[in-house]
Structure 1
Amino acid sequence: MIPPPRPRRVRIGGRPRIRLRRRPGGASPWWRDITCAVPGGGETSPVAPHRLVQWRLVLSSKRIPFRQVQRGSRVGLYVPIVLERMARQEIAAYELEGVRPSVERRPVSFSNAHVTLMVLLLLVLWHGVRMGWWKLFGLATVPAPDAWSSMGALDVYRVIERGEWFRAVTALTLHADSPHLFSNILFGGAFLVPLCRRTGAGLGFMLTLCAGALGNVLNAVARPLSYVSLGSSTAMFGAVGVLSGLLAFEDGGRGWRRMFVPLAAGVAVLGMLGTEGENTDVGAHLFGLLAGCVVGATAQLRLNRVGLPGFVGQVVLGALALVLCGLCWWLAFVARG
C-alpha cells in the first residue's frame, strides 16, 4: 500500500513549522480522503471522473459509507477513519485486478405463506361449489358437475378445431374428484410457498398460471383430437419449473447448477406419485415442467433489469390472475351458448 503523503515542513524565521491544508467544507474531521492513497491518486494527479465512479461502486458494493467533496478542480473521496484501511484495500485490489465491481444483491424473502395457503383454500371452495357440496346447506349447484367439466376441460378437439383456447386455463381449475384435488394441493403447496416467498404472491401465482396454461397448450398440440384432461397438476409442476428457471438465471445465467435442486425434487415426486394410476397424465406433468422452466427463465431475465414489483404491483398481478381465470370461464359460458 502507498502511505498517504506527509505534510511538508518549511522553515520560516528560523523555526520549523508545518504547512496545514484547509479541510474542504462538508468533510468531517473524522473522515479521510482516500484518493491520494490509492494507485493513480495524489494531490498533483487528480483522479479521472470515470475512475471515481468505479471507486464509488466499489465502496457501495462493500457497504462502506463515503462522501465526495470538491475543492477547486480536485474531487476528494472521503470515508470514515475507522474504515479508511478497508476502503484503501478494496480500491487497491480493484485497481490491480481490473475487475468491475458487482453490487451484492441479497435475495428478497416475502413472508406470505398465509396468502398462498388462502389461495389454495379458494381452490378447495371452488371445487366444493362445482361438485355440489353446498347442497348440505340447502343450496343447489347450477350447472351440474358434469356440465362444468364439459365446458372447461382440455378437450383437444374443441381447442384445435374450434379455437377454444380458453380451456388451457379453465382446465387448471377443475378436478375429477376430491382425492385428485387434495393430492395436487399437497404437492403444489410444497413448491408454491417457496416460489411465492421468492417472488411475491401476486407474481408467483401469475407465473404459475402462465406456466400451467402454456403446458396445457403444448399438451393439446402434442395429443390426438380425442384426448381430454383436467386438473391443476400441470400448473403445480409448472411452479417447479418456474422456480428452477428463476434459480438458473438469477445471476445472469451463472446459477444454472442450482436449478437442478427443485427440478430434481419435482422429477422425484413425478416418479413417485405422478406416474401411477390409469388417469395420471404424465405428459401434462412433463409439459408443465418444461413450460415452467421457460416462463421462470424469461421472468428472471426481466427481473434482473427491473427488480421485483412492490406491494401495489403484487396486488395488481394477483388480481390479473383472478381476472384471467374469470374471463376464461366467461368465454366458456359464451361458447356453451
Structure 2
Amino acid sequence: MTAPIPEQPQPIDPIRSPTPGDLPTLPGDLEENLDYGREVVFVPDERRFLPWIAALASRRIPYSVAYEDNRRIISVLRPHARQALAELTLYEEVNADWPRVPQPSDKDDRPLVTDAAFFAIILAGTALAKFHQVVEATEARRWQELGRNDSVLFFRGHWWRTITSLTLHADAAHLISNLAWGAVLGALVASDLGVGAGLFAMLLAGVAGNTMATFLADEGYRSLGASTMVFGILGILCAIRTWEGWQRAWGEQSGRLTRFVPWLPILAGVAIFGIYGAAPGADLLGHTCGFVAGIVIGALQPGCRNAYTSRTLQFFLGSAAAGVVVFAWRTALTHG
C-alpha cells in the first residue's frame, strides 16, 4: 500500500496594480493566509518610485526591488503588505497636490512689454519732448511762471499747477533723465495695467505726489519736472510686483529666508529711490511723496484688474489722462 501523496499548494500569482502608479487592492482574508513565500507587488511610476521606497523604509517595512519589462517593481511580503498599503495610501493622500502645478493665467502668455504700451510711451515721451522744445523756443520763463508748482499760489486756488508742473523741465538734461527712467518704468506699468489705465495711474501718482509735497512743504515751496511722476511710477510697479509675489507665495510653506522674497520688489524700489531720488540737489520731498503715492495707487490696482479688461474703460482712462493735462494748461493760460 502506497503512502498518500500530499496535495501540493497551487502557486499564487502576486497581486499587481492594474496600471502603474495605482495601489493594489488586497484580499480581505489576508491575515488568515499568512505565507512568507507570497509577495504583494506594487508597481509605481517613475515619479513615485523613490518616494514610495522612502516611505516604506521610514517605517522599517521590508521590501525588495526587481525589474520587469523595463519597469521597477516593489515587492513586500504578505505579512507586511497591509501596513505597506496603509503607508503608501497615506503618502498619496498627503502629497495629492504636490508638486503644485501653477495655475495658468493670461499674464503667462503676455510679453514683458506689449506693443501698445511701447508705442504709447514713445508717443507720450515725444509729446513731452516737443512741448519742451516749444517752451524753450518761446518765453521759457513765462511758461514756468504759469505752470510750475508753487505752494503759495496753490493755496490761492491755482490747483492746475500740480498737473502742469509735471510737463515742465529746467533744461534738456533734466528732461532726458526723466524720459529715460519714465519710458522704461512706464512701459512696464502700461503693459501690466493696460495703456489707458497705466497712463491714468501714472498721472494720478504724479499729481498726488505734488499735492502731498505742497501740503507738507514749508511756505514758498516750488518745483517742476516729471520726476515726481517717475518715482510714482516706480512705486506703482513695486507695489504690483510685491502683491504678485505674495499671491504666488500664499499658502506655501517656506523657510524664514524665502519669506522675504515677495518683498524684494519693494526693497529694490527703495534702493533705487535712495540712489537716484535722494541725490544732492534733488527734490527729496517731491520724490518721496511721488514714491509713496505710487505705492498706494499700485496697491489698489489688483482689485481693478477685471475692470481693466474692458477696452472702453481703457480708452476712457487714457483719454481722461490726456484731457486733464490739456485742460490744466488751458486753465493756466487763461488765468495768465
Identify the TM-score tier after normalising by the shorter chain.
Answer: 0.5 to 0.7
Deviation at 1:152, TM superposition (A): 1.0
Where does structure 2 lack aligned partners over 5 or more consecutive residues?
1-21, 25-91, 251-258
Pair 302,258 (structure 1): closer, same or farther in 2 beyond 3 Å: farther
Structure 2 residue identity aligned to 1:214: A
Q: Please point out which of 287, 290, 293 is paired with 1:288.
A: 290
Deviation at 1:290, TM superposition (A): 0.4
Structure 2 counterpart of 1:19: none
Structure 2 counterpart of 1:153: 148
Where does structure 1 lack aligned partners over 5 or more consecutive residues?
4-91, 133-140
How do 1:6-25 residues align onto structure 2 when only pairs under 5 Å count? none
Deviation at 1:258, TM superposition (A): 6.3
Structure 1 residue identity aligned to 2:327: L
Q: Please point out which of 232, 235, 247 is paired with 1:241.
A: 235
Pair 257,321 (structure 1): closer, same or farther in 2 beyond 3 Å: farther
Instruction: Write the distance in 1 (CA, Å) between the matches of 2:233 and 2:165.
Output: 16
Structure 2 counterpart of 1:266: 269
Structure 2 counterpart of 1:104: 103
8 Å contact from structure 1 (residues 237, 266) kept in 2: no
Deviation at 1:119, TM superposition (A): 1.3
Over the aligned positions, Cα root-mean-square deviation in angstroms equals 3.2
Deviation at 1:261, TM superposition (A): 3.9
Structure 1 counterpart of 2:16: none
Question: Can you list the C-alpha shifts for 1:53-86, whole angstroms capped at 9, x where unaligned?
Answer: xxxxxxxxxxxxxxxxxxxxxxxxxxxxxxxxxx
Instruction: Write the distance in 1 (CA, Å) between the matches of 2:216 and 2:261.
Output: 30
Pair 259,200 (structure 1): closer, same or farther in 2 beyond 3 Å: farther
Q: Secondary structure, in 3 states, of the residue corresponding to 2:308? A: coil
**Higher Cα Rg, which structure:** 2
Structure 2 counterpart of 1:209: 203
Pair 219,301 (structure 1): closer, same or farther in 2 beyond 3 Å: same
Structure 2 counterpart of 1:114: 119
TM-score after normalising by structure 1: 0.61
Instruction: Write the distance in 2 (CA, Å) between the matches of 1:334 and 1:283.
Output: 30
How many residues are paired up? 233
Q: Please point out which of 127, 130, 143 is paired with 2:132.
A: 127
Structure 2 counterpart of 1:163: 157
Pair 308,146 (structure 1): closer, same or farther in 2 beyond 3 Å: same
Instruction: Write the distance in 1 (CA, Å) between the matches of 2:205 and 2:154.
Output: 18
* 2:304 is the counterpart of 1:309: no
How do 1:165-204 residues align onto structure 2 when only pairs under 5 Å count? 165-204=159-198
TM-score after normalising by structure 2: 0.61
